[in-house]
């Protein structure tokens, strides 16, 4: 029996939203089931998102979560991911949890490897930032499946314990509630993604579920393949002739 993949995607209404969600939905549609796509809208569920999910052909749940502090620009999907974690825990959804932001690109190969994860899987991610005109790799250096070091590039992140991208790790959902099975010395509830500084979100979360590199599984063998790409692209300005109407996520003119 194949393991359930639980893909968590925070999203919000903006010019690229529809393009991103359709692209991700079409990828997920090609992944062998069972797969559950938990899509979390910002503030309230939107009809735009609902329509895309309905047509995706993917099994999904559509949730919404408010930012704790609506003016906090550092909260890029954090509370939405937490809402999904709460949902997974409350319903005891047993599977591999993966945070897949809407704007990234994912290969099918990645989803195949997710099912090999026992406890916590990690892999390198290529980050492409058009504005900065550069491409960098962030994530583990491995010997077989053993993590022996990290590729570090951003100055701001040098002090974090684990150098993982949000889209560069996945874990067994039972770690959220079954402490005995995972021999977690600290049986406190996992604090989920906290509102610590943005650059440390991922590391702070990972530090709660694994003690050190010995509890990580580097994917695929040798961690030598790039299986997903983290893009930073948004249309900040909208240019169209005066008087013309465009919907916010470009689904109609
Ligand atoms: N996101 C969101 N609300 C926001 C900002 C971001 O729901 O105010 C979502 C976004 O749709 C994406 C994820 O959070 O799925 C990460 O956002 P983004 O790609 O902008 O972050 P970055 O690429 O800078 O890490």
Q: What is the ipTM of this complex?
A: 0.96
**Residue 197 known to be catalytic:** no
* Ligand 1 close to Cβ of residue 14 (< 6 A): no
Query: What residue owns the CA closest to ligand 1's atom 18?
Result: 76
Q: Are 93 and 104 in contact (CB under 8 A)?
A: no
Query: What residue owns the CA closest to ligand 1's atom 5?
Result: 76
Which residues are CB-contacts of 59 (< 8 A; sequence separation ≥ 6)? 33, 34, 35, 36, 37
Q: What is the pLDDT of residue 135?
A: 84
Q: How many CB atoms lie within 10 A of CB 191?
A: 11
How many whole angstroms separate alpha carbon 31 and alpha carbon 42? 26
Of the listed 86, 202, 207, 217, which one is catalytic?
202
Token pair belonging to 52 = 């895309």
How many whole angstroms separate alpha carbon 238 and alpha carbon 18? 15
* Ligand 1 close to Cβ of residue 201 (< 6 A): no
The reported pTM is 0.92
**Closest ligand 1 atom to the C-alpha of 103?**
19
How many Å lie between the centroid of ligand 1 and the Cα of residue 179? 30
* Ligand 1 close to Cβ of residue 93 (< 6 A): no
* Ligand 1 close to Cβ of residue 82 (< 6 A): no
Angle at 203 between CA 4 and CA 10, to 5 degrees: 50
Query: What residue owns the CA closest to ligand 1's atom 17?
Result: 76
* Ligand 1 close to Cβ of residue 165 (< 6 A): no
Tell me the pLDDT of the chain (253 aa) as tens digits. Answer: 899 999 999 999 988 899 999 999 999 999 999 999 999 999 999 999 999 999 999 999 999 998 766 566 567 888 899 999 999 999 999 999 999 999 999 999 999 999 999 999 999 999 887 666 778 899 999 999 999 999 987 665 667 888 899 999 999 999 999 888 887 665 555 556 654 566 667 888 888 889 899 999 999 999 999 999 998 777 766 666 677 766 778 887 7
**Closest ligand 1 atom to the C-alpha of 77?**
14
How many Å lie between the centroid of ligand 1 and the Cα of residue 40? 11
């Amino acid at each position: 029996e194949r393991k359930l993949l639980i893909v968590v995607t925070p999203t919000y209404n903006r010019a690229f939203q529809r393009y991103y969600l359709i692209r991700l939905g079409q990828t997920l549609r090609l992944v062998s089931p069972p797969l559950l796509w938990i899509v979390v809208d910002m503030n309230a569920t939107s009809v735009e998102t609902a329509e895309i999910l309905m047509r995706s052909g993917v099994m999904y749940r559509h949730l919404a979560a408010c930012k704790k502090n609506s003016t906090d620009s550092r909260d890029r999907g954090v509370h939405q991911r937490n809402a999904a974690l709460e949902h997974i825990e409350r319903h005891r959804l047993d599977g591999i949890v993966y945070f897949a932001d809407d704007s990234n690109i994912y290969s099918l190969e990645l989803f195949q490897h997710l099912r090999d994860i026992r406890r916590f899987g990690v892999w390198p991610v290529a980050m492409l930032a058009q504005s900065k005109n550069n491409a960098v790799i962030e994530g583990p250096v491995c010997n077989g499946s053993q993590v022996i070091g990290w590729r570090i590039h951003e100055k701001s992140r040098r002090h974090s314990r684990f150098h993982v991208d949000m889209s560069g790790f996945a874990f067994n959902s039972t770690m959220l509630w079954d402490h005995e099975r995972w021999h977690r010395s600290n049986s406190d509830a996992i604090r989920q993604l906290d509102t610590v500084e943005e650059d440390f979100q991922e590391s702070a979360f990972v530090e709660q579920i694994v003690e050190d590199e010995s509890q990580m599984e580097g994917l695929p063998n040798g961690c030598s393949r790039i299986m997903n790409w983290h893009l930073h692209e948004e249309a900040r300005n909208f240019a169209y002739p005066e008087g013309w109407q465009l919907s916010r996520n470009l689904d109609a003119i």
